[in-house]
Amino acid sequence: MKKLVKNIAMFSALAIAVSSCAVIRPGEIGFKQRLGKLVGEPTTQGLKGYNPFISTVIRMNVRTVEVVNSLILPTREGLNVQADIALLYHIDPAKAQEIYTKFGRNYQEVIVLSNFRATAREISARYETKELYATERQKVETAIKDELVAHIAQHGFIVDAVLLKDFVLPTQMVQAIQDKVNAEQSALKMHYIIQQQQKEAERLIIEAEAIKKAQDIINSSLTDKLLQYNNIEMLKSLVNSPNAKIIITDGKTVPMITTDGK
């Protein structure tokens, strides 16, 4: 009986000892709260003993966390764009108790995300939709991060990065982008056609100039004596033709020659 009582006592003591220790894991910081008051120094990792009847151990994550928000962002031209924006941040371990005291366990929603959403909308309103979507994305990310740091860094929050992810553009904007692409393609096609026509016109001009030059050379070389000589040579070649008929004019003009084959 005494042994049983002893075993029960040992088991109870072990249970109390185990229940009186909290394990603080790497990436966490823990501190003791006794009767509603924070006491002692924070513990970064390891065991932290406490009286479970009057105390509790508060654990807070000091790792970098990623929070993705799907937000409706206004733009400078008055449109609304749905965007997924990722926020990477962590809390300063040295200010963990202060953060818990001011904002409680729900600090992320109370101070971080509320400022993050407001800041994202404020910054997006300075840019046009196409800038958010493509050309100025990195600038927008940097602007949101800098503005958010100005709002929450003083409370012990460290902003690591802000990343613009997926965008869902308004239907009219998608159509406008498609129309612009089509117009640009049509303009490029028309520019190509005009270039081809210009090159063809240049080719025809060069060809016409060459023909004119050749004709000028030929005309300059055609004298009356040369024409008479060519006629004589032609007549000589036809004399021996059995089916040739020669009609001679008055000598002032070029003879008309006909052939009559048998």
Write out pLDDT tens, residues 203-247. Answer: 888 888 888 887 777 777 666 666 666 666 666 666 666 665 555
Residues 54 and 74 in one domain: no
The pTM is what? 0.57
Residues 116 and 96 in one domain: yes
Among the candidates 61, 79, 105, a domain finishes at 61
Residues 28 and 56 in one domain: yes
Q: Does residue 121 sit within a domain?
A: yes
CATH of the domain at 163: 3.30.479.30
Quick: pLDDT tens for 136-149.
888 999 999 999 99
- Rg over alpha carbons for the chain, rounded to the nearest Å, is 48
Q: Does residue 182 sit within a domain?
A: no
Angle at 77 between CA 76 and CA 79, to 5 degrees: 100
Look at residue 6 and tell me whether its pLDDT is greater than 90. Answer: no
Residues 57 and 87 in one domain: no
Residues 22 and 69 in one domain: no
Residues 157 and 230 in one domain: no
Residues 97 and 38 in one domain: no
- Rounded Cα gap, residues 88 and 167, in angstroms: 19
Among the candidates 40, 61, 82, a domain finishes at 61
Q: Does residue 215 sit within a domain?
A: no
Q: Does residue 88 sit within a domain?
A: yes
Q: Does residue 108 sit within a domain?
A: yes
Percentage with pLDDT > 70 across the chain: 65
Residues 9 and 77 in one domain: no
Q: Does residue 48 sit within a domain?
A: yes
Q: Does residue 243 sit within a domain?
A: yes
pLDDT of amino acid 223: 66
What mean pLDDT do residues 96-125 have?
Answer: 91
Q: Does residue 32 sit within a domain?
A: yes
- Rounded Cα gap, residues 47 and 37, in angstroms: 20
The amino acid sitting at 49 is G
Residues 47 and 79 in one domain: no
Residues 29 and 97 in one domain: no
Predicted confidence band of residue 262 (pLDDT cuts 50, 70, 90): very low
More confident residue, 89 or 177: 89
Beta bridge partners of 90: 158
Domain that holds residue 122: 65-169
3-state secondary structure of 260: coil
Residues 98 and 81 in one domain: yes
Residue with tokens 């070649």: 237
More confident residue, 1 or 106: 106
Residues 109 and 24 in one domain: no
Quick: pLDDT tens for 53-101.
665 777 888 889 999 999 988 988 888 888 899 999 999 988 988 888 8
**What stretches of the chain show up as alpha helix (H) in DSSP?**
2-19, 96-103, 107, 114-124, 129-130, 137-152, 171-221, 224-239
**Mean pLDDT rounded to a whole number for the chain:** 76
Overall number of domains in the chain: 3
